[in-house]
Amino acid sequence: TLTPLPVVIVLKDTLEKRGALAQIKARIRAEVFNALDDQSEPRPALSRENLLINELIREYLEYNKYKYTASVLTAESGQPEVPLDRQFLAKELNIVEDASGKSV
């Protein structure tokens, strides 16, 4: 049997209000990307500068709870799965963190 259209609309609205629909769409995009990612095509070597830049972007994405976007960045860029240590990152970028910066 077919689901009546009003039920589908109510379900969609409910998922949107809960913020779940955007997460579902992001998850689907990430899974499609992973399925289509050609592992046989070698990636260029990740330079030190790109490693640091990518890590800053990943930290921003994870801080804002864009976990599926972060997973796509990690997979596509060849960034290590385990994030770099924050103290190491601060030292490499010559950043001095104060108490307010550590929470970000």
- 35 and 66 part of one domain: no
Read off the pLDDT of residues 58-101 as tens digits, 9 standing for 90 and up.
999 999 999 888 988 888 888 888 888 888 888 888 888 776 66
- 30 and 57 part of one domain: no
**Enclosing domain of residue 51:** 43-103
pTM summary value? 0.60
* Integer Cα distance of 97 and 104 in angstroms: 10
- pLDDT score, position 40: 67
- 22 and 61 part of one domain: no
62: domain CATH number is 1.20.960
| Contact partners, residue 96, CB within 8 Å, separation at least 6 | 90
- pLDDT score, position 64: 92
Q: Please name the amino acid found at residue 56.
A: L
- 83 and 54 part of one domain: yes
How many domains does the chain divide into?
Answer: 2
CA atoms within 13 A on the CB side of 45: 2
The closest alpha carbon to 32, from 91, 88, 76, 80, belongs to 76
| Contact partners, residue 81, CB within 8 Å, separation at least 6 | 74
- 48 and 38 part of one domain: no
